[in-house]
């Protein structure tokens, strides 16, 4: 495996992570400014940015995904 192949795989992986982060952001109810800020974070912090965007769940999607226990 040559260094060019490793670089190509790394760039492909980072591009895939960025695309996943954008799909994750698309499902959120964000303003254009918020969407742009989160997208720039994912783009400008190459290896960690997409993970931060997906894990942080901006705009409160986390409360819809977590199961709630009804207390009566």
Span 22-59, pLDDT tens digits? 888 888 888 889 888 888 888 877 777 777 777 776 66
Token couple for 9: 């795989």
- Give domain status of residue 71, yes or no: no
Q: How confident is the model at residue 62 (pLDDT cuts 50, 70, 90)?
A: very low
Candidates 12, 10, 14; CA nearest to 51 is 14
Domain with 30, as residue range(s), is 3-58
Residues 7 and 11: their CA atoms lie apart, in Å, by 6
| Confidence at residue 12, expressed as pLDDT on a 0 to 100 scale | 92
| Confidence at residue 10, expressed as pLDDT on a 0 to 100 scale | 85
| Count of domains forming the chain | 1
Are the beta carbons of 30 and 41 closer than 8 angstroms?
Answer: no
- Give domain status of residue 32, yes or no: yes
Write the DSSP string, 9-26. Answer: HHHHHHHHHHHHHHHHHH
């Amino acid at each position: 495996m040559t260094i060019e192949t490793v670089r190509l795989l790394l760039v492909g992986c980072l591009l895939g992570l960025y695309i996943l982060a954008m799909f994750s952001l698309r499902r959120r109810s964000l303003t254009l400014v918020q969407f742009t800020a989160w997208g720039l974070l994912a783009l400008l912090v190459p290896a960690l940015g997409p993970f931060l965007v997906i894990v942080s769940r901006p705009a409160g999607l986390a409360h819809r995904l977590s199961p709630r226990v009804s207390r009566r």
